[in-house]
Structure formats: C-alpha cells, structure tokens
C-alpha cells in the first residue's frame, strides 16, 4: 500500500502524563475513504491519540503521517488536511449558530460572502436552519454536537476526526449523526472516530481498533472482533421447565460441545459462534416437542468484548475513580 492511500499511518505513538503512560505504543493505519473506529472505555487514551494525530499534542515517542505528511515536521500541512471536532470549546456562547460558523470561516481565510454562504449551506445540511439565529447558550447537546461537526467541515477537510460524536445523544439524533458520517464518506472523506459503543463502531466503521490503557489490544473488522468473543448468544425460556434437561441436550447435539449452554434462572443461554445454526437449533427443539415461551438473540456488549480480549472488564482507568489511590 502506498502512503497516499493511507489517511493515517502511525507507529509506536506514546504520550506520558507524569507517571501515566496514557498512550503506550499505538500503531494505526487508516485507509483513505474509509471510516475507522477507535473503541475503548473512559481513560483508554482515545482523545490523547487523536490529539497527537491532529497536531494538538506532541508525541513523546513514535511518529505519525497524515496522507504522507509528518504530524510533527509538517504540522502546518497536516492542519490543512484535517477537521477536528470536540475542540470548539472556545465558541462564543452569546453568538448565534450562523455567527459562529461565519467567524470560523473568516478565521480559515474565507471572504465574508463565502463564509456566509458556507455557514448557511452547513446549517441546512445539519438541519439547524431553524435555530440559525439562536445564541449558542440556548442550544441542546445534540444541536451543539451537530454545530461542532458543521464547524469542522467549513474547510471540507479530507480527513475528519470525530471524538465520541454521539455520546449523550438521543437515538434519533444519533441516527442523524450516523447518516451524516456515512454521507461524508460517500463524498470521499475519511473519518476517524472514537466511541465507547461497540454498536456504533459496528454500524459505521470499516475497521476498528480496540484500545485499553493506552494500547491497541485488538484490530480488525467488526465481524472479526465479534467472532473473537463468540459472536451472539441465543437465550430461550421454556414453556415447561421439565424440558430443561432435554433442551440442553438438544443444544449440545446441534451445536457441538464447544458451545456450552448455561442455565440462568428459568432461561437457558448458549453462545452461537455461527448465527446460521440458530435455525437448525430451533427446528430441532420443535422436532423434539420442546416449546419455547420466549427466545432472543443477544449480541456481545462492549464489556464482553473487553473481557474476552483483555481479561478484565471495561472499567475506567484507576486514576479516574474517585478516591482511588495509585
Ligand atoms: N492533559 C492531561 N494531563 C494529565 N493526564 C491526562 C491528560 N489528558 C489525559 N490524561 C490521562 O490520560 C489517560 C487517557 O486519557 P484520554 O482522555 O485520552 O482517554 P479517553 O480514552 O479519551 O477517555 P474518555 O472516553 O473518557 O474520553 C487518562 O488516564 C487521563 O486521565
Ligand atoms: Mg476522550
């Protein structure tokens, strides 16, 4: 793969805060024109990693290139190629949405007329036209998030960093954000986003890096990651509890011995490495006269992915726990 095909090419990135190796040797390769998800719990090092890639923080070791340009030696060029959200804490709360976007446009060197036109186009694109004149302090969290993304798109950067773009958004607003991200990529942008939600990475990302305590602990497509934790689990509740033993026997017969059923109260849960086998299992249960009161298919949660990959739960870093002692 040539360097120009890589929007991000980072090797051995390290960032140390005091005694805390917040980012501890991260490698990342993001192909141009794709969505890349960095998935990890609070304190994993996601924001710190993005900040180094976006030239906002100097790495203590390692190197990174954005479309072939070194983030340290060519920071000016790199800044022209990227948009970063979550960095607009300095927007003026008393200014309206339009005024804020125009201000950013002017700061980026657009003429007054171009800045105004770009602001209006972006407000339209992000369904904020109705709120365009409202001062920012009256915006909801979801509106702020959309305005934040709009501001990062004024210069139409080829690479967009989105730091937890949907954390705290309601489901409808989250879906709108996902649509926007998909549209950006369809138009040729590359997106690197961080998230705490497996589901979000699953929906959007072509590839995912799972990071934990500053290290990449797994990398691959969503399907590869899920396969590594045993994909889905099938859960059933029986009409007649007396069938429990024969239900478990049926599961073993159909699925083989490496998918061991677990009784949980009056329900039985069994991991399904191959979702295709669900049908076989349900048919066989019926053949044997075992009737189901309820059945559901459960996807692994981020916690389960973490547990499977790291051997511990996705807990915040120790220094983020109130009252924790190092
Ligand atoms: N400026 C800083 N000074 C000192 N420590 C920092 C600083 N920024 C981050 N850290 C620490 O570095 C670690 C990684 O933080 P980071 O913000 O990158 O995590 P994150 O994955 O983005 O978490 P979250 O999901 O909560 O946003 C944490 O232990 C955090 O406390
Ligand atoms: Mg963060």
Nearest CA to ligand 1 atom 28: 43
Average confidence (pLDDT) over 131-136: 87
Strands (E) located in the chain: 6-17, 20-31, 35-39, 61-66, 69-70, 82-84, 159-163, 190-195, 207-212, 215-220, 232-238, 262-264, 267-272, 292-298
pLDDT of residue 229: 65
* CA 165 / ligand 1 centre spacing (Å): 17
For the chain, give the mean pLDDT. 86
Q: pLDDT tens-digit profile of 109-132?
A: 899 999 999 999 999 988 888 888
Nearest CA to ligand 1 atom 9: 48
What is the band of 300 on the pLDDT scale with cuts at 50, 70, 90? low
Q: Are 181 and 164 in contact (CB under 8 A)?
A: no
Pocket of ligand 1 (CB under 6 A): 17, 20, 22, 40, 42-48, 196, 317, 319-320
Weakest-pLDDT range from 82-86, 128-132, 278-282: 82-86
* CA 321 / ligand 1 centre spacing (Å): 13
CA 15 to ligand 1: nearest atom: 12
Q: In the beta sheet, which residues pair with residue 66?
A: 8, 69
The rounded percent of the chain whose pLDDT value lies above 90 is 48
What is the band of 303 on the pLDDT scale with cuts at 50, 70, 90? low
pLDDT of residue 314: 61
pLDDT of residue 60: 98
What is the band of 257 on the pLDDT scale with cuts at 50, 70, 90? confident
Domains of the chain: 3-226 (3.40.50.300), 232-298 (3.30.70.2030)
SS3 of the chain: helix, strand, coil, percent, to 5? 40, 25, 35
Residue 211 C-alpha from the chain's centroid: 11
Taking alpha carbons only, the member of 171, 159, 168, 129 closest to residue 147 is 129
pLDDT of residue 321: 46
90 pLDDT higher than 90: no
* CA 44 / ligand 1 centre spacing (Å): 7
* CA 117 / ligand 2 centre spacing (Å): 32
CA gap 72, 83 in Å, rounded: 17
Residue 221 C-alpha from the chain's centroid: 12
* CA 182 / ligand 2 centre spacing (Å): 22
- Which conformational region is residue 123 in: left (phi greater than 0), alpha (psi within -120 to 50 degrees), or beta? alpha
Nearest CA to ligand 1 atom 1: 17
Weakest-pLDDT range from 67-71, 183-187, 220-224: 220-224
Weakest-pLDDT range from 12-21, 157-166, 211-220, 296-305: 296-305
Q: In the beta sheet, which residues pair with residue 264?
A: 267
DSSP-derived 3-state class of residue 179: helix
Pocket test for ligand 1, best of 13, 20, 25 (most atoms within 8 A of CB): 20
Weakest-pLDDT range from 10-24, 204-218, 223-237: 223-237
CA gap 59, 70 in Å, rounded: 12
Weakest-pLDDT range from 89-98, 166-175, 184-193, 264-273: 89-98
pTM: 0.76
CA 50 to ligand 1: nearest atom: 18
pLDDT of residue 84: 81
Residue keyed to tokens 């991000």: 8
Average confidence (pLDDT) over 176-205: 90
Pocket test for ligand 1, best of 46, 215, 216, 324 (most atoms within 8 A of CB): 46
What is the band of 249 on the pLDDT scale with cuts at 50, 70, 90? very high
């Amino acid at each position: 793969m040539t360097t120009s095909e890589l929007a991000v090419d980072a090797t051995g990135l390290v960032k140390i805060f005091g005694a805390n190796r917040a980012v501890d040797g991260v490698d990342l390769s993001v192909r141009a024109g794709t969505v890349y998800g960095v998935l990890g719990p609070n304190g994993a090092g996601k924001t710190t990693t993005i900040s180094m890639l976006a030239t906002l923080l100097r790495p203590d070791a390692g190197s990174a290139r954005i479309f072939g340009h070194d983030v340290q030696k060519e920071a000016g060029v790199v800044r022209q190629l990227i948009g970063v959200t979550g960095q607009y804490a300095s927007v003026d709360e008393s200014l309206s949405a339009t005024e804020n976007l125009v201000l950013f446009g002017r700061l980026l060197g657009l003429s007054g007329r171009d800045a105004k036109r770009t602001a209006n186009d972006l407000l339209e694109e992000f369904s904020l036209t109705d709120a365009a004149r409202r001062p920012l302090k009256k915006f909801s969290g979801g509106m702020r998030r959309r305005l934040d993304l709009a501001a990062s798109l004024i210069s139409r950067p080829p690479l967009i960093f989105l730091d937890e773009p949907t954390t705290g958004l309601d489901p409808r607003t989250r879906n709108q954000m996902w649509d926007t991200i998909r549209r950006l990529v369809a138009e040729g942008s590359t997106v690197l986003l961080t998230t705490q939600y497996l589901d979000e990475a699953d929906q959007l990302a072509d590839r995912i890096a799972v990071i934990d305590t500053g290290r990449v602990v797994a990398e691959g497509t969503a399907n590869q990651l899920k396969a590594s934790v045993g994909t889905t689990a099938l859960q059933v509740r029986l009409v007649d509890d007396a069938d429990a033993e024969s239900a478990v026997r049926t599961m073993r017969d159909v699925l083989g011995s490496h998918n061991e059923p677990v009784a949980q109260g009056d329900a039985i849960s069994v991991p399904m490495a191959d979702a295709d086998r669900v049908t076989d299992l349900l048919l066989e249960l019926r053949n044997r006269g075992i009737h189901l009161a309820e059945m559901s298919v459960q996807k692994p949660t981020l916690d389960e992915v973490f547990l499977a990959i790291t051997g511990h739960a996705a807990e915040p870093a120790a220094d983020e726990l109130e009252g924790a002692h190092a």
